[in-house]
Chain A
Amino acid sequence: MSPAQASALAASPRDGTLEVLRERGQREVFCGLTGIVWLHRKMQDAFFLVVGSRTCAHLLQSAAGVMIFAEPRFATAIIEERDLAGMADCHAELDRVVDRLLARRPEIRTLFLVGSCPSEVIKLDLGNAAQRIGARHLRSETGEGVRILAYSGSGIETTFTEGEDACLTTLVPEMPAEAADAAPSLVMVGALPDIVEDQFLRLFGELGIASVGVLPARRAGALPPVGPNTRYILAQPFLGETARALEDRGAVRIDAPFPFGADGTAAWLAAAAAAFRIDEMHVNRVIAPGRERAKRALERYKPALEGKRITFLPDSQLEIPLARFLATELGMVPVEVGTPYLHRAHLAADLARLPAATRISEGQDVERQLDRVRADRPDLTVCGLGLANPLEAEGLATKWSIELVFSPVHGFDQAGDLAELFARPLRRRDVLRI
């Protein structure tokens, strides 16, 4: 855990009644580099250059699947033997690679240098490199530069979605300061699929919140301003560092459960509206149609999911809000909910709504956790692709977790799709006669 994470945890109110099983051992999780796969789709003029090993490049191509060929805006500068010979050489090499890259891709406005385990261990200072290279790439003739930022997506420091947290944290200092007399504004934090983002922005507009920005913005130049009049609301549960950086700039968090399902989304929107002192009657009027639609969509899946026992293995930090959604809105029974990291303050609203009998675990010793899965024999196990087929072969139905990060699942109009993701493997299990 980074010191920042540790302090965030210490600062959060400790709930004496919440028992959490903490484990250390082999972790079957992605590293933060994987975040690049969806972040680069969101930020249309950004490029992600991983400074790492062949393993890092191999991971990205394995995670990105076929997407890798659609003129991807990410790549790996693979450290070779001769780079390890001396540090000066390493920086010169990085400069050369970045120059070549930017010459080839003049449309790039933000370049992220992404640290990896190898680059962290050899203590290659990417922050410094970003400044040095950034100074050279100021395009004075247009007054426009390539913003070069650095963050770490290494496995030793970040787990899967924490890569997004680390990336967004570097964007916070780049956000313009809000004017001294700025009216209260809202920033929605976390990369969402464009269609979901647009739905939320429409709803905020209908609620009457005048000024709403998103982090990350789709383009580098469109970062929203931030300051003491800024309220921010997290759309994703894995943004502890980003939240801290926003608070350092005076912004204040709106506490809410995460917007999954009909009730989760309604509560999330209502919390935002309450922070802007919007009349409750009006809020209910705006929210009601979407909420009703979502509830109708969920009704279809209730017969398939109600009473079914589900276990989450740690992956993305989405596990607790998703378990809350499945338990409260579809009647599923969470057995164990594992998360790679538990931010108690940000997840307080979701934790409070989880059934009391739920076993919550933080961290992982994969062998012991699998022993528990085999003993529990849940109806559905949410896990990574390295475990899914082997568990199926043992007769356990699984739902592979990475899809929950890549698919549009937030908000009213995705509630049914989200339920479908969990219902489908169970339905398939019933239809197959081989």
Chain B
Amino acid sequence: MQLAVWTYEGPPHVGAMRVATAMRGVHYLLHAPQGDTYADLLFTMIERRSARPPVTYTTFQARDLGKDTASLFQNAARDAVERFKPQALLVGASCTAELIQDDPAGLADNMGLPCPVIPLELPSYQRKENWGAAETFYQIVRHLADTSVRPAPREGRRPRVNLLGPAALGFRHRDDVREVRRILDLLGIDVHLVAPLGASPDDIRTIGAADFNIVLYPEIGDEAARWLDKTFAQPAIRTVPIGVGATRAFIAEVAALAGVDPALALDDPSSRMPWWSRSVDSTYLTGKRVFIFGDATHAVAAARIASEELGFTVCGLGCYNREFARDIRGAAKEYGLEPLITDDHLTVEEAIAAAAPELVLGTQMERHIAKRLGVPCAVISAPVHVQDFPARFSPQMGFEGANVIFDTWVHPLVMGLEEHLLTMFRDDFEFSDAAGPSHLHGSAPSHSKAEPVLAPAGDILVREDAAPVAAADGTLGWTNEAERELRKIPFFVRGKAKRNTEKYANEMGLPAITLDTLYEAKAHYAR
């Protein structure tokens, strides 16, 4: 048993719902107890969809247990097909139905339903949401793709691709598709099919007509892409165009495979991020320590942007989806980091506190951790809350995505000029710690409260009247003088200074931390 308050991923049948909801003409019959319909509201509220997800639940109750659940399932299947007339019916079980061992596939098979039935085996006690989405999409493609369909001869037509992976409840999937379509349009490449988002079973049948595939989200699209490569000899592009560098690499790869000129898309005048990052106001971003956590695809992309395109120092890198841990391990090695592969939010919280970053890039969960620790944060990956399904155009991919990312990540940081002012006038009443950075408004972290559980990076317990205060671990105390000096250090680097000083004092075996210790440590850690 795993003790959990927060889970980064839902159960695998939620992944299947994400695929079914993304598509048109599909219905998902889910053998599930009363109550599992809660998942509907993820789609109607977080993604603000205006229609119910195309999911029918058998909603069995205790009194139905026994042989009744099987007939309940068949009745529900009949009603759903009758009412919704889907082009294809997905059938599967949620975690509880998996235990009662009705066989949705067999039950539906015997009914002679007037549409293709695609059974889903989603082991709820081993796998999670992303896996469920990938498996569902793969099963749909495998069941429906017409293997006799092949691309038309290349002469006299534009190259044609499938975009694989975008789904319902995907972080910025809607706008990423639009942005990638724009790139492909500039290159003179046609999009044959986007799937699962917006595709119907009839569309899926023709999937073989494209020249190659672009896997936008490997977590959802890769399984199907591998099968398509094997079955149709459709190569797949796996470079995810998040960030300027990755977008350029993506364009080059796509252009090479399609036999077109990459310059058509590379010289996009709307790509402002490289200049923004070079402008002098961004000098202050140099070496900012950033901790990155999310799904592997977004985390790896973020790490590259952070280090190569914004000049940050990546001080932590991890993902929650084990299936793609290899990508994280590879990237972590590049930055000389220990990869953090975990779905336990407490472990992530500890790692963030230990790394003492100046910026956290993560999921909704890291947003809350960062808030507790008083560290600025931006969201780069699902799971996300309603505010990260925005009304405005906000892709992560392509050059416009890079523009969006620059704004999103830099916004929570204290901008250069303000940082300078805070340092210069830190004793001025208007620039005091308590005032906080102006752009964080009412949500500015309070720097007067001591965090009882974890020693937060941006905080210290200061008491003017007290004798040296014992450090949180009980090893060392600060003299009043040293403490007052520490307080003069801007709050966003104070945590690091405090930790470094204590570490230094411990290593040197000093009995207490004095003013001198503070500056000795500063010199020691200066690079």
Contact = CB atoms under 8 A, between A and B. Distances in A.
Interface of A: 1-2, 25-34, 51, 53-55, 57-59, 61-63, 66, 68-69, 72, 74-81, 83-84, 90, 93-94, 96-97, 100-101, 117-118, 120-122, 154-157, 159, 367, 384-390, 392-393
A2 B50 CA distance: 36
Given A54-B10, A59-B35, A156-B64, 18 more contacts: A2-B62, A26-B58, A29-B37, A30-B35, A31-B35, A57-B6, A61-B6, A68-B5, A75-B4, A78-B3, A78-B4, A101-B3, A118-B99, A121-B99, A156-B96, A367-B79, A385-B44, A387-B40
A-B residue pairs, 7 tightest by C-beta: A31-B35, A155-B35, A386-B40, A393-B50, A117-B96, A53-B95, A385-B41
B275 interface: no
10 contacts: A55-B10, A55-B95, A57-B4, A62-B42, A77-B1, A81-B125, A117-B33, A154-B62, A156-B62, A386-B40
B14 interface: yes
Contact of A30 (B38, B44, B52): B38
B22 to A, nearest CB: 16
Interface string B1-24: 111111101110110000000000
B63 A384 contact: no
Contacts of A59: 35, 38
Nearest to B368: A69
B41 to A, nearest CB: 4
A122 B99 CA distance: 7
Contact of A389 (B48, B59, B94): B48
B44 A386 contact: yes
A62 B38 contact: yes
Given A54-B95, A155-B33, A385-B44, A367 B83 contact: yes
A118 B35 contact: no
A394 to B, nearest CB: 9
A76 B50 contact: no
Nearest to B83: A367
B218 to A, nearest CB: 22
Nearest to B34: A155
Interface string B30-66: 0001111111111011001111100011111111110
Contacts of B1: 51, 77-80, 83, 90, 93-94, 96-97
Contacts of B94: 55
Interface in B481-518: none
A393 B3 contact: no
A27 B6 CA distance: 26
B34 A156 contact: yes
Contacts of B42: 62
Interface of B: 1-7, 9-11, 13-14, 33-42, 44-45, 48-52, 56-65, 76, 79, 83, 94-96, 99-100, 123-126, 128, 368, 372, 385
Given A29-B37, A156-B34, A390 B63 contact: no
Contacts of A392: 50
B3 A390 contact: no
Contacts of A74: 5
A105 B241 CA distance: 45
Contact of B11 (A28, A53, A93, A384): A53
Contacts, number: 181
A84 B95 CA distance: 12
B6 A29 contact: no
A117 B35 contact: yes
A31 B96 contact: no
Given A156-B60, A386-B52, A27 B124 contact: no
A115 to B, nearest CB: 11
A55 B40 CA distance: 13
A392 B48 CA distance: 11
Contacts of A61: 5-7
A26 B59 contact: yes
A80 B125 contact: yes
A359 to B, nearest CB: 22
Contacts of A30: 35, 38
Contacts of B125: 53, 79-81, 83-84
Nearest to B47: A389
A229 to B, nearest CB: 36
A57 B44 contact: no
A72 B4 CA distance: 11
Contact of A118 (B6, B56, B96): B96
A121 B7 contact: no
Which one of B34, B36, B49 has the highest number of Cβ atoms from chain A below 10 Å of its Cβ? Answer: B34
A389 B38 CA distance: 14
A57 B1 CA distance: 12
Interface centre among B62, B76, B368, B372 (most CB of A within 10 A): B62
Contacts of A387: 40, 44, 52
Contacts of A96: 1
Contacts of B4: 54, 57, 75-78
Contact of A77 (B2, B44, B58, B385): B2
A98 to B, nearest CB: 9
B132 to A, nearest CB: 11
A156 B126 contact: no
Contacts of B96: 53, 55, 117-118, 121, 155-156
Nearest to A52: B95
A28 B79 contact: no
Given A58-B11, A385-B44, A27 B79 contact: no
Given A53-B125, A77-B2, A393-B50, A156 B65 contact: yes
A78 B56 contact: no
A137 B412 CA distance: 46
Given A26-B76, A31-B34, A55-B10, A75 B95 contact: no
A55 B124 contact: yes
Contacts of B14: 55, 58
A72 B368 CA distance: 13
Contacts of A76: 3-5
Contact of A100 (B3, B13, B41, B49): B3
Nearest to B123: A81
A159 B62 CA distance: 12
B377 to A, nearest CB: 13
